[in-house]
Structure 1
Amino acid sequence: MTEDSSTPRGVLTGYRVLDCSIAMAGPFAAQRLGDLGADVIKVEPTTGEWQRHAAAGGARGNQINVSFLSLNRNKRSFAVDLKAPHGRELLYGLVSESDVFLQNYRPGVAQRLGVDYESLRTINPALVYVSISGYGEDGPYRDRPGQDLLLQALSGAMLSAGAAGTPPQAAGQYIVDAVTASTAFEAVLAALLHRERTGEGQRVTVNMLDVITTLQMQEISVYTMGGVPQERSEQPHAHVYIRSPYGTFATTDGFLALAMPHLPTLGDLIGEPSFAEMDGETDGWDRRDEIHAKVADKLRTRSTSAWFDLLSAAGIWVAPVYSYEELVNDAQVAHNGTMVEYDHPTEGRVRTPGFPYRFSRTPARIARGAPLAGEHTREILEDLGVPSERVSALLDEGVIASASAPS
């Protein structure tokens, strides 16, 4: 993938981001900045970030595992030992010429490495410094592991769906990590806008507990202001605060999602006469389990497509439950250009979700795939003005690492 002068410049072209984060939330946020044209330098150990080497869902690449590949496109890799004084000096040089510094170190690590905000602001007062944590920079949970499933459990979200007496069900994706990434991405853009207006850099903190809590703005307000507790009923409703029927139902060949239909209309279509005199806003709550069970009994008699065609034609909110195979081959997904493809020097043809925002004049694009560990170390240091012989000496000392992509 080479630069083309005819390609529109990204909205963040000219900004430099130092991505010192690992795992998902930080790298995903930094990738989005890179998709918009920022020069994102992934700062990783000389052996590479740990996620390069751990399989995702059993899927392994040739040299780069699938998780790392999916979260680190549009970045250059600078492999350096930050515990070595010479390594920190090199990073400080990059800090002086960067706009954003992003990290999700465990509490105390940034200070030990000398890359905390107070240290870096003395080098570059205009720096936007973003720190992502699990529970906050301090407080009683400061040292707890900020892992997605644990945050889902703590947030209360798991008890907003499912049936009473059954184990709470986690989301089918790393929802806390993903929303934290989006939140950090938005925070960077807001802080850069402030800097454009005032010239001031600042420290921005994002924690996963606050993110997943504020994501439930409506649900938690129903409890805090409406006084309605989370009470799961006997049938597996998709949300405790939404009337029946609301959830997924088995058909003869799959599953169908059904959301808050007009009960008399639904009853007429599925052959359930008891719904004719029901009112959704009263019976939908008071007879929630009864309604769910009757709908489930009727919908299991026909195929997903048959029910979808019938119900959607009547204006009822309904959708098939897709597998990933069905999703990535869907006509609307194809029309939107949701999936992107490119060639990677070690992993071959890559097909992955793209960027969710659209800009008419400054579109997101893929300039490069996920880098090899240290693939751009020499290039980055030469950009910084470090002499070639000094780079070679640092390589010999093991302070930095370099790799070349196969031609």
Structure 2
Amino acid sequence: MGLPLQGVVVLEFSQYLSGPSAGLRLADLGARVIKIERPEGGDPSRKLAIKNLWIGDDALNFHTINRNKESFTANLKDKDDFELVKKLIQKADVITHNFRPGVMERMGLSYEDVKKINEKIIYAEITGYGKEGPWSMKPGQDLLIQSISGLTYTTGNSDDDPMPFGLSVIDSICGIHAVQGILAALISRQKTGKGAYVELSLLESAIALQFELFTTWFLDNNSVKRSKVSNGNPLLGAPYGIYETKDGYIALAMMNIQTLRRALECAELDQFHQGDVFQKRDEIKAIIRDVLKHHTTDHWLSLLHKHHLWAAEVKDWKQLSQHEGYKVLGMEQEIRLQDHSIITTRCPIRIDGEKLYVNKPAPALGKDTEKIKNELA
């Protein structure tokens, strides 16, 4: 199967997660992604281990983000290396970077510099907070962005401390936004012949991710509050959230409160109408919480599903991976290295019914330098 981005060349000056996650998805879709790395150390995420797990000389995390790419090492302060990079830019379609404002400019690789080398280039730049304003030079790290953006007040209950997501959600969503911007610019270039300068920031992605919350807050800033009981979404009424059962947990989504009353056989809910699910949210949820503790998750699911209500068991990764509903998706793929193999997830996109599997590992630092030099000769 020919992939849609086959023939597109991406030069990835990016590091850590946001920019490289965009490169990962572009590579999955067929682009040739070449990481431009410093000879000494390369992408710092090579040494940023998660749970102190390593594959060879590189952190496991590096392998999850940078599979299916090539590595070209260049000292951009060296004249000969810089000339080689300029030759690569002449052949490239896309450049990505996620350095702080001013870094690429000091290296002579700003958009204006690059456009003189290749006027059709798509230049995608990710910063932490934008290039202007009092925060522009602050470190753009995921937890810090979550904290500044208000996102930590969407998770947990109202009496809890601010609570971040348990993953680098802003890096990931900004990478997705970068792919969207790059693909839009590539389509535009196909029509007009002109390149584009695509700008993103982690903070803008974090704010955009909360579009429902911000829109609600703009209208009524007192209406966005986490519920005290089983908060699932601060904008949604009872019973939306996760509840403990006798042997685990159960998730309840949006549903009619009187239908829920019949499913649970809970007379205490008789006093409430559908219009109460917001005004009396915590009172309703507290009743549901106390009822659900008395029977197992399967018991409640059978009753809830009998009434066509939206409910699901809460699984951990082991429970999920053992279920046929997971297995049929085929989300796992093996990445083979010289002395190791690792299991990771595949691209979630299917094209013409085909799942996109690529077993090419992340590159060793500088692995493709000589090969690419020969191509440029």
TM-score (norm 2): 0.95
Please give the per-residue CA displacement for 1:26-55, whole angstroms capped at 9, x wherever unaligned.
001001111111111011111322111221
Retained in 2: the 8 A contact 1:9–1:362?
no
Q: Residue 318 of structure 1 corresponds to which residue in structure 2?
A: 311
Q: Residue 126 of structure 2 corresponds to which residue in structure 1?
A: 132
Retained in 2: the 8 A contact 1:328–1:339?
no
| Percent identity of paired positions between Structure 1 and Structure 2 | 32
Retained in 2: the 8 A contact 1:43–1:80?
yes
Retained in 1: the 8 A contact 2:334–2:359?
no
Q: Which amino acid aligns with 2:173?
A: V
Retained in 2: the 8 A contact 1:237–1:245?
no
In structure 1, what is the Cα distance between the partners aligned to 2:272 and 2:360? 57
C-alpha displacement of 1:367: 5.4
In structure 1, what is the Cα distance between the partners aligned to 2:305 and 2:49? 41
SS of aligned partner of 1:336: coil
- 1:300 corresponds to 2:293: yes
Retained in 1: the 8 A contact 2:22–2:179?
yes
SS of aligned partner of 1:101: strand
In structure 2, what is the Cα distance between the partners aligned to 1:295 and 1:322? 20
Please give the per-residue CA displacement for 1:210-239, whole angstroms capped at 9, x wherever unaligned.
111111222211121355432334324222
SS of aligned partner of 1:311: helix
Q: Residue 174 of structure 1 corresponds to which residue in structure 2?
A: 168
Structure 2: unaligned runs, 5 residues or longer: none
Decide whether aligned partners of structure 1 residues 124 and 229 sit closer, same or farther in structure 2, where only a CA change above 3 A counts.
Answer: same
Decide whether aligned partners of structure 1 residues 110 and 362 sit closer, same or farther in structure 2, where only a CA change above 3 A counts.
Answer: farther
Retained in 2: the 8 A contact 1:268–1:276?
no
Q: Residue 11 of structure 1 corresponds to which residue in structure 2?
A: 4
C-alpha displacement of 1:121: 0.6
Q: Residue 61 of structure 1 corresponds to which residue in structure 2?
A: 55
Retained in 2: the 8 A contact 1:159–1:230?
no
In structure 2, what is the Cα distance between the partners aligned to 1:65 and 1:324? 22
Retained in 2: the 8 A contact 1:160–1:240?
yes
Q: Which amino acid aligns with 1:318?
A: A
Q: Residue 211 of structure 2 corresponds to which residue in structure 1?
A: 217
Alignment of 1:23-172 (within 5 A): 23-46=16-39, 47-172=41-166
| Equivalent in 349, 358, 361 of residue 357 of structure 1 | 349
In structure 2, what is the Cα distance between the partners aligned to 1:58 and 1:307? 40
Please give the per-residue CA displacement for 1:169-198, whole angstroms capped at 9, x wherever unaligned.
111221111100100011110000011111
Retained in 2: the 8 A contact 1:16–1:39?
yes
Decide whether aligned partners of structure 1 residues 381 and 361 sit closer, same or farther in structure 2, where only a CA change above 3 A counts.
Answer: farther
Retained in 2: the 8 A contact 1:263–1:276?
no
Retained in 2: the 8 A contact 1:9–1:363?
no
In structure 2, what is the Cα distance between the partners aligned to 1:208 and 1:51? 18
Please give the per-residue CA displacement for 1:61-100, whole angstroms capped at 9, x wherever unaligned.
2332111000001101112222222221111110000000
Retained in 2: the 8 A contact 1:25–1:178?
yes
C-alpha displacement of 1:309: 2.9
Q: Which amino acid aligns with 1:267?
A: R
Decide whether aligned partners of structure 1 residues 151 and 349 sit closer, same or farther in structure 2, where only a CA change above 3 A counts.
Answer: same
Q: Residue 389 of structure 1 corresponds to which residue in structure 2?
A: none
C-alpha displacement of 1:326: 2.4
In structure 2, what is the Cα distance between the partners aligned to 1:206 and 1:45? 24
RMSD (Å) for aligned C-alpha atoms: 1.8
- 1:207 corresponds to 2:201: yes
C-alpha displacement of 1:133: 0.7
The structure, 1 or 2, with the larger RCO (C-alpha pairs under 8 Å, 6+ apart) is 1
SS of aligned partner of 1:96: helix
C-alpha displacement of 1:305: 2.7
- 1:231 corresponds to 2:225: yes
Q: Which amino acid aligns with 1:311?
A: L
Retained in 1: the 8 A contact 2:232–2:240?
yes
| Equivalent in 16, 19, 22 of residue 15 of structure 2 | 22
Q: Residue 250 of structure 2 corresponds to which residue in structure 1?
A: 256
In structure 1, what is the Cα distance between the partners aligned to 2:150 and 2:245? 30
Q: Which amino acid aligns with 1:163?
A: N
SS of aligned partner of 1:122: helix
Q: Residue 392 of structure 1 corresponds to which residue in structure 2?
A: none
In structure 1, what is the Cα distance between the partners aligned to 2:198 and 2:269? 53
Q: Residue 259 of structure 2 corresponds to which residue in structure 1?
A: 265
SS of aligned partner of 1:204: strand
Decide whether aligned partners of structure 1 residues 314 and 98 sit closer, same or farther in structure 2, where only a CA change above 3 A counts.
Answer: same
Instruction: Kindly report structure 1 stretches of 4+ aligned residues shifted beyond 3 Å.
Output: 226-229, 361-365
In structure 2, what is the Cα distance between the partners aligned to 1:241 and 1:177? 24
Retained in 1: the 8 A contact 2:242–2:250?
yes
SS of aligned partner of 1:129: strand
Q: Residue 291 of structure 1 corresponds to which residue in structure 2?
A: 284
SS of aligned partner of 2:67: coil
Retained in 1: the 8 A contact 2:336–2:360?
no
